[in-house]
């Protein structure tokens, strides 16, 4: 009986989360950026030129894609994440994000060994579109070359990079 109730509640909440918010237009893009900026003030986020972010906590780095990348891809329908315990070099191909028939490669921004993948994103790829800095994180890895982090852009440098490339 309880199981039946639970499954009903579960399917109801799933239906609710399936309601998509309207896609952001140019104006919305800027507001969305500000909102997510305040959200991630606390962590130490670094960025790559290919619009991936790394948040370092001790020796573990969490990896995801930025708002710019998520918008460029469109609605993500499937996330193929790397396998746990696999070692990757910086810039090595480690997975793919599929959106509207285009499969975009995922590149590892820093070298390391994968310790955890975000299974929520496997079940619900739209999390990457809705919350790319928070719930839409992709995977965590144990850094093997922490010095690579210093070569990446910080938030100010990344914002400047975006402005320069828009010209």
Partner 1 sequence: MALRKLATDALARGVLASESLVGKELSSIPKAWASTSAAVKVKNNRKTEDLKDLPKRTVFISQSSDIFSNLALEDWLYKNWSFERRNVLLLWRNSPCVVIGRHQNPQVEANLSYLESAGVPLARRGSGGGAVYHDHGNLNCTFFTTRDRYDRHTNLEMICRALHLDFGIQAHPNSRDDIIMDHDHKVSGSAAKLGRSTAYHHCTLLVNTDRHQLKLTLNGDKSIKSKATASTPAHVMNLSEMKPGITVEQVLTSVGRAFLGHDQALANGFTLVNPTDEWFPGLGELEAVLRSARWLEGQTPRCTITRSVPIPQGLLPHASNTSLAVTVQAYHGLVEEVRMEDDTEKEGVAELVQDIGAGLRGAPFSSDTFNIIAGRLRFSPALTHFPLPASARPIPTPTRSVI
Q: Which range of residues in 17-25, 37-45, 119-127, 130-138 is near partner 1 by CB under 8 A? A: 119-127
Please give the torsion angle defined by the CA atoms of residues 65, 66, 68 and 73, in that order, rounded to the nearest 10 degrees. Answer: 20
Least distance in angstroms from the C-beta of 88 to partner 1 = 14
Least distance in angstroms from the C-beta of 152 to partner 1 = 16
Please give the torsion angle defined by the CA atoms of residues 150, 152, 154 and 156, in that order, rounded to the nearest 10 degrees. Answer: 130
Say how many residues make up the chain.
167
Contact track, partner 1, 96-115, x by CB under 8 A: x-xxxxxxxx-x--------
Structure tokens at 91: 């810039």
Q: By C-beta, is 20 or 59 nearer to partner 1?
A: 20
Structure tokens at 103: 């499969």
Q: Does 123 sit near partner 1 (CB under 8 A)?
A: yes
Q: By C-beta, is 77 or 145 nearer to partner 1?
A: 77
The three-state DSSP-derived secondary structure of 52-75 is EEEEEECCEEEEEECHHHHHHHCC
Least distance in angstroms from the C-beta of 11 to partner 1 = 13
Q: Which range of residues in 12-20, 74-82, 139-147, 149-157 is near partner 1 by CB under 8 A? A: 74-82
Least distance in angstroms from the C-beta of 106 to partner 1 = 10
Cβ-based neighbours of 74, under 8 Å, separated by 6 or more = 99, 100
User: How far apart are alpha carbons 2 and 24 in whole angstroms?
Assistant: 40
Which of 50, 57, 59, 151 is close enough to bind partner 1 by CB under 8 A?
50
Binding footprint of partner 1 on the chain (CB under 8 A): 3-4, 50, 77-78, 80, 91, 96, 98-105, 107, 122-123, 125
């Amino acid at each position: 009986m309880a199981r039946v109730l639970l499954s009903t509640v579960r399917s109801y909440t799933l239906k609710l989360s399936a309601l998509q918010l309207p896609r952001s237009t140019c104006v919305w893009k800027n507001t969305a950026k500000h909102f997510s900026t305040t959200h991630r003030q606390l962590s130490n986020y670094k960025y790559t030129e290919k619009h991936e972010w790394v948040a370092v906590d001790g020796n573990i780095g969490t990896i995801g894609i930025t708002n710019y990348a998520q918008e460029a891809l469109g609605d993500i329908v499937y996330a193929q994440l790397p396998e746990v315990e696999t070692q990757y070099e910086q810039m090595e191909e480690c997975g793919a994000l599929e959106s509207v028939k285009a499969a975009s490669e995922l590149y590892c921004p820093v070298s390391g060994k994968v310790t955890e993948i975000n299974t929520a994103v496997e079940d619900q790829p739209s999390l990457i579109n809705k919350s790319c800095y928070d719930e839409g994180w992709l995977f965590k890895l144990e850094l093997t070359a922490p010095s690579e982090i210093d070569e990446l852009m910080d938030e100010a440098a990344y914002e400047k990079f975006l402005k320069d490339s828009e010209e």
